[in-house]
Amino acid sequence: MTTTTENPRIAFIGTGAQGASIAADFVLAGLDVTFIDQWPAHVEAMRENGIAVNLPTRTLHTPVKAMHLCEIAEIKVPFDVVFMVVKAYDTRWAAEMIKPVLAEDGFVVGLQNGMTHEDIADIVGRERTIGAVIEIASNMWEPGITNRQNDTDESWFAMGALDPEQQHRVEAVADMLRHSGTVEVVDDIRSAKWMKLVVNAAELIPSAIINTALNDAARIPEFLEVMRKAGYEAMEAALADGATIMPIIGMPPVMSNHPERYVDQIFEKVLETFSREDTLTCSLQDWRKGRRAEVDEVNGIVVNILEAHGKDAPMNRRVVEMAFDIEAGQLKPKAGNARDLVAHHKELVGSRQAAH
């Protein structure tokens, strides 16, 4: 793909709650978009009825081109840009599937949680990989219908090439994504991805463990401290991994460089701007659908990075342990789980005070 491509071929692999709503914006803008998904009923519903996107004050509906995963092998003309919106743990196989139908000068854009840009780059090459940050609240419970809680004026993205020599081409891809929200092109996408992982570590799995909406979890003072602690550890991991503190999701350029204060600020921004009263994190949605959540890819990476630097992430470690117990059927997501995490936090505070 070049910046002069008049009608680039675009694919979305993963057209669930997030992918479908963004891809629908592209279709309505007149772009050539193919929806590719692994949920058979969803693909058939889109083929028969198009995609419906329920927004806070309006509903969008449009016919779309939808394909099953198994039909990727039938594609004859390669795609210029592929937006990957599958779960972080599905990244590697999805990248392998799309690689044969990606143009030689095309891009895969990882619109996902976690540090998936590295997995994509391992498979399609750094020169064909764009890392991205996404901030939208949405959910999907029925095939062919997605519920997006942030309209385009509230939706936020960041993008950046992994290969610095390709950075000048990112703006053309960003222009596509601007049909769905505000897009910032950044030189340090790796740090931007880490900043998003910091807030994800605080919010996604912790609030899912207590089986409640994100705002409700944050209203419990002692549990808010649990969530912040997970975020503080994630920031420590980010800095240990070489990331730079930087504003994302529309935060002002002038902000605190103090790691823990930054975590508090970004958490507040998400709650104020992107979260609704009934917003469930993607992790809790996954569990209610009987699926795995992105445990290793968010909180797990915090534990692993700090461990590699000779440090511990006790709150994230406990969050991971409880999450895996839930996924193994040994524990249920419930409000009572808050007691375990709050008690664990108090132990950590007590140990720290005793050490000083």
pLDDT above 50 (res 333): yes
Confidence of residue 340 (pLDDT cuts 50, 70, 90): very high
How confident is the model at residue 336, as a pLDDT?
96
What tens digit of pLDDT does each residue of 68-84 get?
A: 999 999 999 999 999 99
pLDDT above 50 (res 170): yes
Please, are residues 35 and 15 in contact by the beta-carbon 8 Å criterion? yes
Query: In terms of Cα–Cα distance, which of 147, 141, 129, 138 is closest to 193?
Result: 129
How confident is the model at residue 114, as a pLDDT?
95
Q: 113: helix, coil or strand?
A: coil
pTM, to two decimals = 0.94
9-187: CATH architecture? 3-Layer(aba) Sandwich (3.40)
Q: Distance between CA atoms of 81 and 87, rounded to whole angstroms?
A: 19
Confidence of residue 6 (pLDDT cuts 50, 70, 90): confident
Confidence of residue 273 (pLDDT cuts 50, 70, 90): confident
How confident is the model at residue 254, as a pLDDT?
59
| Residue 325: C-alpha distances to residues 19, 162, 209, 332 (Å) | 29, 36, 10, 8
What tens digit of pLDDT does each residue of 103-157 get?
A: 999 999 999 999 999 999 999 999 999 999 999 999 999 999 999 999 999 999 9
What tens digit of pLDDT does each residue of 216-243 get?
A: 999 999 999 999 999 999 999 999 999 9
Mean pLDDT (the chain) is 95
How confident is the model at residue 356, as a pLDDT?
57
The stretch 279-298 carries a mean pLDDT of: 96
Contacts of 93 (CB under 8 A, 6+ apart): none
Least confident of 179-183, 233-237, 268-272, 283-287: 268-272
The stretch 235-257 carries a mean pLDDT of: 87
How confident is the model at residue 255, as a pLDDT?
63
- CB atoms under 10 Å from CB of 183, counted, come to 21
% the chain with pLDDT above 70: 97
Q: 150: helix, coil or strand?
A: coil
Confidence of residue 256 (pLDDT cuts 50, 70, 90): low
Confidence of residue 10 (pLDDT cuts 50, 70, 90): very high
What tens digit of pLDDT does each residue of 198-213 get?
A: 999 999 999 999 999 9
- Beta pairing, strands 129-135 & 102-111: parallel
The stretch 164-168 carries a mean pLDDT of: 98
- CB atoms under 10 Å from CB of 260, counted, come to 14
Q: DSSP string covering 290-323, please?
A: T---SSIIIIIHHHHHHHHTT---HHHHHHHHHH
191-355: CATH architecture? Orthogonal Bundle (1.10)
Domain regions of the chain by residue span: 9-187, 191-355
Please, are residues 20 and 35 in contact by the beta-carbon 8 Å criterion? yes
Give me the residues paired with residue 142 across strands.
145
Confidence of residue 5 (pLDDT cuts 50, 70, 90): low
